[in-house]
Structure 1
């Protein structure tokens, strides 16, 4: 149960936000981007800046400060969401009067905002699909108070549109947010890159300039876990069993703390020379993950690749967080729970096809999500 003092402080926070929002009597022409996932939102920000440089305002969480500062140098106004005085004095008035607000996550202060009737609030989610539960369907929300749930719903109610890649993701948003979903079926914007042959070639060239191109590449991308947990893999044994034909890379979630069992392993590559995850995927021969959203992009980045799901804590994770009920039916690769089974799955190559997986999860993806979104934005401003 929530601490009464914490609950009271959240109520005061939202009342102050609401009071500041109610003072806004006039619309502005700004496009506000609420930024918390700099990697997944980078492409959308670039497109919006190139086409609406005078309207774009970036409101960022501290984890995304560096990319926001880059747009400040280009002339955009930027504001720190985590600074409450700035939130009340600067962010709330701009957001409340904006014609268009983009979000890449859940932002609590939206619960207190009063928007004009024609304002569009677009959820540009930071993932292309979902294996784990979130929102009101996440298991950890079962014990929150009714007040907490009402506050969550007040945020979800503010979203007028969702950019999605499939009917499947639309239904997942509807289920997890308990909302009727108004979709923009454009596709997940970062996936446009995988349809750009010159970008893919450049990504592969960058990859091969840093890493041996005479070896096959395994990339292990474990999902974020609220309770930090030692990964039950002997990475020395993994490398020994697979041999020198493989190079093993591990990319932790941005919110994860360093795992000593990985960082201290000399044979494991954890230095990516500022290459983003999307830049790695076209060169990865075998993706190993669990409940991360990476598969929904990898299936497009490397359609001839291979996926393995190392779900060593499947039952526990399902109880603590929640896993989509039909995951085992559409998982586009072998699901294993032990190191021995993982090694066997890597060694004994099975033909994989991502065709049915992409039909389910990437049905709207055609490589022009960014242009379709821009067309929609321009239509908003023409009216």
Structure 2
């Protein structure tokens, strides 16, 4: 109840400020509202490569995102803070931009009515989904009626949503309550990295000091609501080290919300490596020989590399009850399933994977992501700016 009250107060003041700022004229300006870095960075880089003449502003939620985009030299403003001055600056740029690009759910959209010539584009941070979100997230039913109205209002502000597949479009339609007219099949910009042979080689070389002539297992569990600790994040690291350290190193990539919450001091640094500080998880995927994950969206991109994956839904029943999953998870994943650390170890040791299954999975979820997505998205954005 207290959280809902704070949200409503924030949005009330934001609406007032935004409405006042709409009195200013629109400018030839693109505002990126970012919780993540990859998609916005790829689009921005393509815009700079083409020397598109437009102002650019980054509104950043989270310290990592803020630090990342500060390097561009563009105007970067912390977003969704209680600082009134920052709120005014954010509202001003949103109210005067021709193009607003978001990568997540943002409550401000529920109280911000853009001018007719403004286009709001959703550049979602994932290529596919196992877990439900949006209106289909089971936790939504537990929220207040006012909150549910707010969610719907946010989604209705997405003029267009960029997708990489028909499969993801169908999920978005159900999650956001929108019809097919809201979607553009341009591919996901961050996937362009997987078609860059030079970048692949660079990433593999950069991980050589960690690899030490061994193979890299990347463990990337999805975010969970309970606190992250060594004994409750799935894998038993001591068993993994005992059974696999002769041939492998284990790279842990925790969700951004969980960075710094796992104490690595008691772990063997020659086997367990903290990969959470890398800006881009996709760069780590380029260097990994094997992925172990659960309900994360990472496999949808990793499938482009046609490399082995193991799915470790150690809390499948509980997770499905609390969060919800799309369809039959067991049938949906493109790799062997393990329910214990010992099963993970045995699958790795057997080293038998169906790469054709992974290729089919990639074809389904990355249909429009063919290495030209950033260019295609910028083509579309240019049309929006010039209309």
Same structural fold, with TM-score higher than 0.5 when normalized by the shorter chain: yes
User: What is the aligned partner in structure 2 of residue 318 from structure 1?
Assistant: 320
Determine helix, strand or coil for the equivalent of 2:207.
helix
Q: Is the 8 A contact 2:99 2:385 kept in 1?
A: no
Once residues 130 and 193 of structure 2 are traced to their aligned partners in structure 1, the CA distance between those partners, rounded to angstroms, is 23
3-state SS of 2:295 partner: coil
Deviation at 1:173, TM superposition (A): 0.9
Provide the TM-score with structure 2 as the length reference: 0.90
Cα contact 1:34–1:103 (8 A) shared by 2:
yes
Matched, 1:334 2:336: yes
How many angstroms apart in 1 are the aligned matches of 2:175 and 2:275? 35
Residue aligning to 1:365: 369
What is residue 196 of structure 1 aligned with on the other side? 196
Displacement of 1:254 after TM fit? 1.4
Greater relative contact order (Cα < 8 A, sep 6+): 2
Distance in 2, matches of 1:98 and 1:41, equals 16
Matches within 5 A, 1:263-274: 264-266=266-268, 267-270=271-274, 274=278
Question: Whole-Å Cα distance in 2 between the matches of residues 232 and 279 of structure 1?
Answer: 23
Give the stretch that moved more between structures: 34-43 or 369-378. Answer: 34-43
Which sits farther off after the overlay, 164-173 or 84-93? 84-93
Query: In the aligned structure 2, how far is the partner of 1:53 from the partner of 1:113?
Result: 26
Structure 1 window deviating more from structure 2 (236-245 vs 329-338): it is 236-245
Please report the RMSD computed on the Cα atoms of aligned residues, expressed in angstroms.
2.1
- The answer to whether the 8 A contact 2:195-2:371 is kept is yes
With the length of structure 1 as denominator, give the TM-score of the two structures.
Answer: 0.91
Q: Which stretch of structure 1 is more off in the superposition, 361-370 or 348-357? A: 348-357
Aligned equivalents of 1:277, 1:104: Cα separation in 2: 16
Q: Name the residue aligned to 2:291.
A: 287
Determine if contact 1:204/1:282 at 8 Å carries over to the other structure: yes
**Preserved contact between residue 48 and residue 56 of structure 1 (Cα < 8 Å):** no
Structure 2 counterpart SS, 1:249 = strand
1:17 correspondence with 2:14: yes
d(CA) in 2 for partners of 1:9, 1:232 = 34
Matched, 1:66 2:70: no
1:78 pairs with 72, 76, 93, which one?
76
Q: Report deviation, 1:365.
A: 1.2
Give the Cα–Cα distance (whole angstroms) in 2 for the partners of residues 61 and 272 of structure 1. 18
Alignment coverage as a number of residue pairs: 374
For structure 1, which runs of at least 5 residues remain unmatched after alignment?
A: none
State the secondary structure of the residue aligned to 1:130. Answer: coil
| Correspondence for 1:184 | 184
* Preserved contact between residue 92 and residue 113 of structure 1 (Cα < 8 Å): no
- Offset at 1:118? 2.6
Aligned match of 2:354? 352
Cα distance in 1 for partners of 2:279, 2:259 equals: 19
Of 231-240 and 120-129, more deviation after overlay is shown by 231-240
- How many angstroms apart in 2 are the aligned matches of 1:137 and 1:235? 34
Cα contact 1:41–1:126 (8 A) shared by 2: no
1:206 equivalent in alignment to 2:210: no
Give me the whole-angstrom Cα distance separating, in 1, the residues matched to 2:241 and 2:331: 30
Counterpart contact for 2:311–2:336, Cα < 8 Å: yes
Preserved CA contact (<8 Å) 1:263 1:270:
no
Partners of 2:147 and 2:204 in 1: CA distance: 46
1:158-307 mapped onto 2 (5 Å cutoff): 158-181=157-180, 182-208=182-208, 210-212=209-211, 214-229=213-228, 230-258=232-260, 260=262, 264-266=266-268, 267-270=271-274, 274=278, 276-300=280-304, 302-303=305-306, 305-307=307-309
